[in-house]
Every structure is written in C-alpha cells, then in structure tokens.
Amino acid sequence: MRKKLLKIRKIVESQEKRPRKDVKAPTAFKETGKAPVEPEVAIHRIRITLTSRNVKSLEKVCADLIRGAKEKSLKVKGPVRMPTKTLRITTRKTPCGEGSKTWDRFQMRIHKRLIDLHSPSEIVKQITSISIEPGVEVEVTIADA
C-alpha cells in the first residue's frame, strides 16, 4: 500500500514539473485572429434644460452651448422654446384698508429652453464648462435612448 502511494506521488510530481502543451489557459472569449477592438464610449441622450427670467442672457447661454456642441460635431436638437410661464400677483397698494381702492399688478415671466444632445457624458462636461450668465439655471439630465 505504501509503495503504491509513493509511486502515485512520483507520477504526480513529475507531471507538475513539466509544462503541459496540450492544455491551454482558459479564456473568456473565443480567439478570432482579429486585432482587439477598443470598447466604444457609451453615447447617451442628454437633455439640457435652461430656465431664466432674462431672455437675452438665456439666448446667449443657449447659443454658446449649441456652438460648443457643433464644434465637437455632435448631434444637436434645439433649442426648443417652451411656453413662457407668467406668474401674476395682484395686491392693494395701501397697507391699511383706507383710501381709494388702487391695485398693483406684479408679474414674473419665466422662459425655458430645451437642448437635446447625443454624445458621451465626458464631452458634455467639456461643453457645459463655459461661463454661464447670472440668473440662468442649467439642469442636465441623462436619458439613455
């Protein structure tokens, strides 16, 4: 019994020492003989929403974003001009209830623009790094197409 164990151990040790040519290392992918292809950067559908009370500054930021996207040859849709929200408050001029009944009418108009881009998110970071006018809010959402 002991001799058999020693014999088996010698066989196993001799097999461990010499490299096996018939067994290949396990690979996850089948070799096709072609050069490896770099993985493509994921292209996202990115929506940039701009809101402001000042139309001039809103249009300026909008034009700057679109110019930057077209310089990088991205697919751009927009600017889509959404309906203007008009917020109204009507209030009495006088702090007390005396006097003639005169009223003040205040309103605030909020303008909104949408820009859709088809690009990787890294490029959008570069585009949106431009100086944005004060009073313009920028919201970036990524919605995969």
98 in a domain, yes or no?
no
State pLDDT tens for residues 5-18: 666 767 766 665 65
Q: How far apart are CA 61 and CA 113, in angstroms?
A: 10
87 is a domain residue:
yes
> What are residue 80's DSSP bridge partners?
114
- Does residue 32 sit within a domain? no
Q: Collapsing DSSP states into helix, strand and coil, what is residue 84?
A: strand
Does residue 11 form part of some domain?
no
On the question of pLDDT at 125 being above 90, the answer is no
Residue 110 lies in a domain: yes
For tokens 């088996």, what's the residue?
A: 8
Answer for the pair 77, 116: CB distance below 8 angstroms, yes or no: yes
Q: Which structural domain, as residue segments, surrounds residue 137?
A: 44-93+104-143
Residue 48, domain member (yes or no): yes
Q: Of 113, 8, 120, 13, nearest to 64 (Cα)? A: 113
Number of domains in the chain: 1
pTM of the complete model beyond 0.75: no
CA 7, 12, 18, 24 dihedral sign is: positive
The enclosing domain of 132 has a CATH number of 3.30.70.600
CA distance to 90, 122, 136, 137, per residue, from 117 (Å): 41, 12, 19, 18
Q: Express each pLDDT in 37-70 by its tens digit.
A: 555 677 889 999 999 999 999 999 999 999 988 9
Examine residue 65 and state whether it is found in any structural domain, yes or no.
yes
Query: If we measure between CA atoms, which residue out of 140, 135, 56 comes closest to residue 64?
Result: 56
